[in-house]
């Protein structure tokens, strides 16, 4: 009976851990403690070029920039949502080069940011065929360019 | 509900019917009337401010109006539109401001600050951000060191900008450029003896501000020479060099002409030197071709009184060829020369070359050539 009790305790413990991990997956990551300067530098050096390449000559100005952000954590939150969350008409952005770099940058510059999020997104995408770059995807990437730009402009020199 | 009235933003706020470009400037002053009291507040134009052109006639699109919105130095917005194609059309420009919410294109009013009522036909004709044009950098400072200068100026309080400095010397045909993220640009490889002019401007990066931006105007050009400011750099000293150049060219041309003339004058002699002509015996041997038809032997016989010597082709003697024809001048002197005394076999070399053998002279030297013996005196000579 003692052994059974101990086993149940262990099971409960591991169940809690598992639930906490699930909760962690579900809850939005708080970007407040990220190194925004380094994230900005990474964007300016590499991620921007990836986004432009994805646009492949399409002008971002042809799409209305309808999404904005108020501050740096808010901008990163929205960037993450648009980059990694599939939407109707565009479900494959998470596999693109800019998305991989974005995830790597967040993982490196944001303490506690987990790679599980992108792994889950990739797991979902593996079951589907890669979509042709749709107009909706171009519009999403145009929004990302706007958000990233807003993120950069939020830096003020002292 | 307070009534808000905006001022200072537009030159023309009334209905526009003229075919003209209408321009609106400035920041936004908001006059609020509440309970009969007007108060004015200035609203700084920032990232989240939107500008809208309201049109009383639906169907006129922004492209037809050629709307241009420029955000000058992050402070002032200039909105320009062209009504020339819509003369007679009533257009009213209204502008709103405040926090920009997520996309609600059909919202009747989503700018709440100031309480300005907006038309439901409002069409957003701007994007955030506006096309930015930074202000020209001012207060340029120059720190000179040997062979380099550092140009500095106050940075604008915004990120994502590039500060470009151009310089040019009197010997450069175009400006040379260098840019940095901050207004602290060091230019190396300068010559302290040369005069340089500098100018600077601010540009936005596409990653931060998008592709539709404008660089700032160039700052005022400042010139420096030897670390000291100058009003301007002297123009390329063409005048000082020009006479010297002309002088040198003239001397060279003159020299060339002299040499040419000299060459022409001596052309005959030079030509003879370089390409010697074949000697014409006509001049040396008068009558050789005219009277003796080139027969030299006859000419000699006739003119020079020389006895023809026949070559002996046998007896071990070698036929030496025409160049070995012997010409012996017979001298008319009291002591005559015994010219022909054929000799055979004596004194002849086995090689066949003629040898000279001497006998006892009888009034002169004896010369024996090819079997013939001659008595020579001072006025005689033998030509081989």
A152 → closest Cβ in B128, B156, B160: B160
In tens, the pLDDT along A53-111 reads 998 876 655 666 667 787 889 999 999 999 998 887 888 888 899 999 999 999 999 98
pLDDT, residue B52, reads: 44
Interfacial A residues in 64-123 facing B (CB < 8 Å) = 64-68
Domain identity same for B174 and B158? yes
Superfamily of segment(s) A36-57+72-116+131-154 = Thymic stromal lymphopoietin (1.20.1250.90)
CATH code of the domain covering residue B212: 2.60.40.10
pTM over 0.80: no
C-beta separation of A155 from A36 below 8 A: yes
Number of independent structural domains in chain B = 2
Domain identity same for B68 and B188? no
Domain identity same for B19 and B119? yes
Domain identity same for B114 and B12? yes
pLDDT, residue B4, reads: 39
* Residue that is last in its domain, among B230, B260, B286: B230
Has residue B338 been placed in a domain? Answer: no
Domain identity same for B71 and B153? no
pLDDT, residue B133, reads: 87
Beta strand pairing status for B131-133 and B68-72?
Answer: parallel
Has residue B378 been placed in a domain? Answer: no
C-beta separation of B203 from B164 below 8 A: yes
Instruction: Please tell me whether the interface predicted TM-score (ipTM) of this complex is above 0.90.
Output: no
Residue ranges covered by each domain of chain A: 36-57+72-116+131-154
Report CA torsion sign: B8, B11, B16, B21: negative
Q: How confident is the model at residue A8 (pLDDT cuts 50, 70, 90)?
A: confident
Q: Determine, for residues B157 and A157 on separate chains, whether the beta-carbon distance falls below 8 Å.
A: yes
Domain identity same for B171 and B76? no
The answer to whether A14 contacts chain B (CB < 8 Å) is no
Q: Determine, for residues A67 and B207 on separate chains, whether the beta-carbon distance falls below 8 Å.
A: no
pLDDT, residue B150, reads: 95
pLDDT, residue B285, reads: 81
Q: Which residues of chain B make contact with A68, given a CB cutoff of 8 A? A: 48, 100, 102, 128
Domain identity same for B117 and B216? no
Q: Determine, for residues A65 and B127 on separate chains, whether the beta-carbon distance falls below 8 Å.
A: yes
A123-136: average pLDDT: 56
Q: How confident is the model at residue A45 (pLDDT cuts 50, 70, 90)?
A: very high
Establish, for the pair of chains A and B, how many residue pairs have beta carbons separated by less than 8 Å: 64
Interfacial B residues in 284-343 facing A (CB < 8 Å) = none
Asked whether residue A47 carries a pLDDT value surpassing 50, the answer given is yes
The answer to whether A57 contacts chain B (CB < 8 Å) is no
In tens, the pLDDT along B305-347 reads 655 555 444 444 444 444 444 554 544 444 444 444 444 444 4
The answer to whether A61 contacts chain B (CB < 8 Å) is yes
Cα–Cα distance measured from residue B111 to residue B195, given in angstroms and rounded to the nearest whole number: 56
pLDDT, residue A36, reads: 94
pLDDT, residue B168, reads: 94
Domain identity same for B160 and B96? no
pLDDT, residue B266, reads: 77
Has residue B312 been placed in a domain? Answer: no
Q: Which residues of chain A make contact with B184, given a CB cutoff of 8 A? A: none
Q: Determine, for residues B127 and A60 on separate chains, whether the beta-carbon distance falls below 8 Å.
A: no
User: What are the phi and psi torsion angles at A102 (to 5°)?
Assistant: -60, -45
User: Looking at CA atoms only, how far is residue B142 from chain A in angstroms?
Assistant: 22
A153 → closest Cβ in B124, B160, B212: B160
| Residue of B381, B314, B318, B304 whose CA lies nearest to B349 | B318
- How many percent of chain A have pLDDT more than 70? 71
Domain identity same for B126 and B154? no
Q: Determine, for residues A44 and B207 on separate chains, whether the beta-carbon distance falls below 8 Å.
A: yes
Q: How confident is the model at residue A154 (pLDDT cuts 50, 70, 90)?
A: confident
* Residue that is last in its domain, among B230, B255, B270: B230
Has residue B79 been placed in a domain? Answer: yes
Write out residues in chain B with pLDDT < 50, as ranges: 1-33, 37-39, 42-45, 48-59, 96-128, 311-325, 328, 330-361
Q: How confident is the model at residue A35 (pLDDT cuts 50, 70, 90)?
A: very high
In tens, the pLDDT along A88-103 reads 788 888 889 999 999 9
Range of the domain at B86: 1-41+63-101+108-133
């Amino acid at each position: 009976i003692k052994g059974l009790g101990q086993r149940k305790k262990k099971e409960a413990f591991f169940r809690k851990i598992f639930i906490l991990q699930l909760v962690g997956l579900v809850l939005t990551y708080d970007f407040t403690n990220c190194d925004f300067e380094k994230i900005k530098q990474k964007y300016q050096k590499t991620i921007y070029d990836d986004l432009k390449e994805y646009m492949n000559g399409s002008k971002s100005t042809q799409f209305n920039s309808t999404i904005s952000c108020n501050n740096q954590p808010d901008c990163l939150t929205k960037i993450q949502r648009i980059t990694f969350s599939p939407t109707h008409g565009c479900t494959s952005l998470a596999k693109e080069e800019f998305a991989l770099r974005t995830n790597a940058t967040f993982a490196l510059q944001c303490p506690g940011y987990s790679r599980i999020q992108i792994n889950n997104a990739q797991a979902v995408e593996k079951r589907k065929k890669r979509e042709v770059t749709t107009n909706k995807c171009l519009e999403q990437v145009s929004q990302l360019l706007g958000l990233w730009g807003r993120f950069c402009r939020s830096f003020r020199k002292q | 509900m307070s009534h808000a009235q905006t001022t200072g933003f537009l030159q023309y706020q009334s209905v526009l019917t003229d075919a003209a470009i209408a321009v609106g400037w400035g920041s936004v002053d908001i006059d609020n009337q509440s309970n009969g009291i007007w108060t004015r507040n200035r609203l700084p134009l920032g990232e989240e401010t939107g500008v809208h052109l309201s049109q009383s006639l639906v169907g006129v699109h922004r492209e037809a109006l050629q709307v241009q919105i420029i955000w000058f130095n992050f402070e002032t917005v200039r909105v320009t539109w062209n009504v020339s194609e819509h003369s007679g059309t009533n257009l009213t420009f209204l502008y709103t401001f405040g926090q920009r919410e997520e996309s609600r294109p059909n919202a009747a009013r989503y700018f709440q600050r100031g309480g300005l009522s907006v038309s439901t036909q409002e069409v957003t004709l701007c994007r955030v951000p506006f096309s930015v044009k930074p202000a020209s950098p001012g207060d340029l400072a120059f720190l000179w060191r040997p062979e380099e200068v550092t140009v500095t100026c106050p940075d604008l309080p915004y990120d994502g900008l590039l500060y470009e400095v151009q310089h040019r010397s009197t010997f450069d045909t175009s400006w040379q450029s260098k840019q940095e993220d901050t207004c602290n640009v060091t230019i190396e490889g300068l010559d302290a003896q040369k005069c340089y002019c500098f100018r600077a401007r601010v540009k936005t990066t596409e990653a931060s501000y998008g592709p539709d931006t404008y660089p700032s105007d160039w700052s005022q050009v400042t010139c420096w020479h030897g670390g000291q400011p100058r009003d301007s750099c002297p123009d390329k000293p063409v005048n000082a060099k020009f006479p010297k150049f002309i002088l040198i060219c003239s001397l060279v041309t003159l020299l060339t002409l002299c040499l040419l003339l000299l060459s022409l004058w001596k052309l005959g002699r030079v030509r003879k030197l370089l390409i010697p002509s074949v000697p014409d015996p006509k001049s040396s041997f008068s009558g050789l071709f005219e009277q003796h038809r080139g027969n030299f032997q006859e000419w000699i016989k006739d003119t020079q009184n020389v006895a023809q010597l026949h070559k002996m082709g046998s007896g071990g003697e070698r036929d030496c060829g025409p160049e070995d024809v012997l010409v012996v001048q017979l001298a008319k002197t009291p002591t005559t020369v015994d010219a022909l005394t054929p000799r055979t076999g004596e004194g002849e070399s086995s090689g066949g070359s003629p040898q000279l053998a001497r006998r006892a002279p009888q009034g002169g030297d004896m010369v024996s050539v090819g079997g013939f013996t001659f008595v020579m005196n001072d006025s005689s000579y033998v030509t081989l």
